[in-house]
């Protein structure tokens, strides 16, 4: 994508400066910003915190550094916007619909399995890998930690509420609430392991076993 031009036409009456040109320019600007944010997430997930510089992100996005700095003048501004995007994506993924019975229907092994598999998919995705890099950096950066804590809390609430609904666990079921939280902690651990190596084969077996155990703990007959 060509860099977004920020130059102002010297002739206010020229056609290039007319109102009809603003729509395409704004759309190009929006797309460039989106590519920069997605590239930041990809760089964080693949190469780590230190590699996520404005120059590296601009190169991955296919835009000039000047165009990147037009949208995000500093690395801090870029990372902050990318963090908000990451947690928005994670929250949306955690709250997305699962092809399962309605929340008022009985809990079944298949329903439990669908909810667990969805949680694991969220925590082993690119956005979570990017978030892990930021969490590690935030351990020694109070300002960064202050920024991400409310974003992470919003995501955690969405993940817990959606997983409970997907399993069919009542909000008043305290044991069920704890089992859902244990499931999310379990999925987070698998996501961490997946950053070091391709853990998919072992993970599939572990997830199947966890689904069976959760079904039993919720009083559902086995048979997944």
For 96-155, how does the pLDDT look when each residue is reduced to its tens digit (9 = 90+)? Answer: 654 444 445 678 999 999 999 999 999 999 999 999 998 899 999 998 899 889 988 988
- Classify residue 17 by its DSSP letter: G
pLDDT at 4 over 50: no
**Cα separation, 155 vs 29, whole angstroms:** 28
* H helices present in the chain, as ranges: 22-47, 54-61, 65-71, 75-94, 109-123, 126-138, 142-167, 174-194, 200-217
Mutual angle of helices 75-94 and 126-138, in 10-degree steps: 130
| Averaged pLDDT of the chain | 84
Q: What b/e sequence results for 51-66 when a residue is b if at least 16 CB atoms lie within 10 Å of its CB, and e otherwise?
A: ebbbebbbebbebeee
pTM for the whole structure: 0.76
Give the pLDDT confidence score for residue 169 in this predicted structure.
92
> Mean pLDDT lowest for which of 13-22, 49-58, 64-73, 191-200?
13-22
Answer yes or no: is pLDDT of 223 > 50: no
Whether 77 shows a pLDDT value over 80: the answer reads yes
Q: At 144, phi and psi to the nearest 5?
A: -70, -40
Residue 147: strand, helix, or coil: helix
What is the C-alpha to C-alpha distance for residues 31 and 25, in angstroms, rounded to an integer? 10
pLDDT over threshold 70, residue 190:
yes
pLDDT at residue 11 greater than cutoff 80: no
Q: Would you state the pLDDT for residue 200?
A: 84
Lowest mean pLDDT among 73-77, 94-98, 211-215, 216-220: 94-98
Residue 9 has pLDDT above 80, yes or no: no
């Amino acid at each position: 994508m060509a860099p977004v031009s920020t130059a102002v036409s010297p002739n206010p009456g020229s056609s290039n400066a007319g109102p009809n040109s603003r729509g395409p320019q704004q759309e190009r600007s929006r797309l460039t910003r989106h590519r920069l944010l997605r590239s930041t997430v990809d760089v964080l997930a693949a190469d780590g915190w230190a590699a996520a510089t404005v120059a590296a992100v601009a190169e991955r996005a296919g835009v000039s550094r000047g165009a990147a700095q037009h949208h995000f003048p500093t690395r801090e501004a870029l990372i902050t916007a990318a963090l908000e995007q990451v947690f928005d994506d994670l929250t949306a993924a955690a709250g997305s619909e699962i092809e399962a019975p309605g929340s008022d229907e009985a809990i079944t092994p298949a329903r439990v399995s669908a909810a667990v598999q969805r949680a694991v998919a969220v925590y082993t995705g690119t956005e979570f890998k990017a978030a892990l890099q930021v969490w590690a950096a935030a351990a020694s950066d109070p300002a960064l930690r202050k920024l991400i804590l409310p974003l992470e809390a919003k995501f955690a609430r969405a993940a817990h509420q959606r997983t409970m609904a997907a399993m069919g666990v009542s909000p008043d079921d305290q044991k069920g609430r704890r089992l859902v939280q244990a499931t999310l902690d379990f999925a987070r651990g698998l996501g961490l392991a997946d950053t070091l190596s391709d853990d998919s084969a072992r993970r599939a077996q572990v997830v199947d076993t966890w689904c069976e155990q959760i079904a039993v703990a919720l009083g559902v007959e086995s048979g997944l």
